[in-house]
Amino acid sequence: MTADLTPAQGATTEHGHHVPHPVNNADKIRWWPAQREQRERELRWTCSCRSVVYVLVAGGGGAWIRRFHSSETTETVRMHPDAAVALWAKILAGEAV
């Protein structure tokens, strides 16, 4: 199965997902300094009313998660889109942080 990486309809005006507090044994993601790509697309994002905002980004045949926390912007490593979508689901479930 191929990951669905189509941008969410009306996503620019949509209230984003609220990430729950992580579970006790949540996976610890390695966050690296962000490196923006020339051709990247932000596909999904969590609600900006929270202090930490996550964005699912695709570009160059891969995908990754970007994390905004106050003035700090970090990212996961680039990965296969299927892996990025799976990680995105874990973040939204509070199972990865």
Residue 27: CB atoms within 10 Å:
12
Instruction: Give the interface segment with Zn ion, choosing from 26-34, 40-48, 54-62, 74-82 (CB under 5 A).
Output: 40-48
**Is 49 one of the binding residues for Zn ion (CB under 5 A)?**
yes
Q: Say how many CA atoms lie within 13 Å of 65 toward its Cβ.
A: 23
User: Which is it for strands 52-59 and 62-69: parallel, antiparallel or unpaired?
Assistant: antiparallel
Instruction: Give the interface segment with Zn ion, choosing from 19-27, 45-53, 58-66, 81-89 (CB under 5 A).
Output: 45-53
Q: For residues 17 and 78, which CB has a smaller minimum distance to Zn ion in the complex?
A: 17
Identify the residue whose tokens are 């892996």: 83
The helices-and-strands tally (H runs, E runs) of the chain is 1, 5
Q: For residues 47 and 89, which CB has a smaller minimum distance to Zn ion in the complex?
A: 47
Instruction: Give the interface segment with Zn ion, choosing from 37-45, 46-54, 66-74, 75-83 (CB under 5 A).
Output: 46-54
Chain positions contacting Zn ion, by CB under 5 A? 47, 49
